[in-house]
Amino acid sequence: MSRKRFIVEMGYGSDLHGGDVTKAARRAVQEAVSRNCLCGLFDILGMEDPDRMHVSVKIGCPKPEEVDAGEVLKVLPFGSRELEVVSGGLSVQGLNLPALGEGDSIVVAVAAVTVSLDIV
């Protein structure tokens, strides 16, 4: 068997109050997965079990060491999952509103979500 890519989708996420890179990364992955329907896996390739998918996520964000991988991967509803987090994204000064988060840092994360399937 060899793993073949079916789709690569990009997403953007941010945390406007508090600089939470995990929150920004989750939002980036959610945006990427919410914009597509993988009906081709079922209708064309005949996949019956969505857990046969392999979903690879690459996140670029400030402070990649602070991303909680388990929380980010919870966004994905099906399949085996893997996550790579690299330095990237953006961090800028925002507005300190304690009711919405700690600090005044806006962080932006970008995600590339690749869905693959093992093909005979």
Q: Give the tens place of pLDDT for each residue, 24-42.
A: 999 999 999 998 888 888 8
Structural domain including 11 reads 2-119
pTM: 0.92
With residue 22 as reference, give the H or E element that holds it.
Answer: helix 21-34
Tell me how many domains the chain contains.
Answer: 1
CATH assignment of the domain containing 72: 3.30.1330.20
The HSE-up count of residue 68 (CA atoms within 13 Å, CB side) is 9
d(CA 72, CA 42): 25
**Coil vs helix vs strand at 4:** strand
Cα-Cα-Cα-Cα torsion 65, 70, 75, 76, nearest 10 degrees, comes to 110
Q: At 40, is the secondary structure helix, strand, or coil?
A: helix
Query: Over the stretch 61-117, which tens digit does the pLDDT of each residue have?
Result: 999 999 999 999 999 999 999 999 999 999 999 888 888 777 889 999 999 999 999
Beta partners for 106? Answer: 92
